[in-house]
Amino acid sequence: MNGMSDTKQAILSNKGDMTSFKFGNYNIRFRTPSRLQRYTEVKEWDNGYIVVTADYEGIGLTEEYIDLLPILENLYIDPQTFLKPIKSVKIEYDE
């Protein structure tokens, strides 16, 4: 797929009420609750399905589930092609 890089690791982060999933030249952004302060741990990556620990204001650490398939489909990105080279996801913030 055009825009893919040699790395096999995607990056997950958030700022305000938006989450970013970065891989290759893509930065896929989607809305998340404004009370989400940050992601703290990726517990599982399963070809588009992510289990993370998220820190919410007023709630604390919570296990959260992100399904990228419908997001990718809504952006007219073929999930199978896009997700195939991704072997892991890490959390990274620009600070």
61 by Cβ neighbours in 10 Å (0-12 / 13-18 / 19+) ranks as: exposed
Whether 48 is in a domain gets the answer yes
62-80 pLDDT per residue, tens: 999 999 999 999 999 999 9
- The parent domain of residue 63 ranges over 9-88
6: pLDDT confidence band, cut at 50, 70 and 90? low
Whether 93 is in a domain gets the answer no
Whether 80 is in a domain gets the answer yes
CA–CA gap between residue 10 and residue 52 (Å, rounded): 14
26-44 pLDDT per residue, tens: 999 999 999 999 999 999 9
81 by Cβ neighbours in 10 Å (0-12 / 13-18 / 19+) ranks as: exposed
pTM of the model: 0.88
Whether 95 is in a domain gets the answer no
Query: How many separate domains does the chain show?
Result: 1
Whether 29 is in a domain gets the answer yes
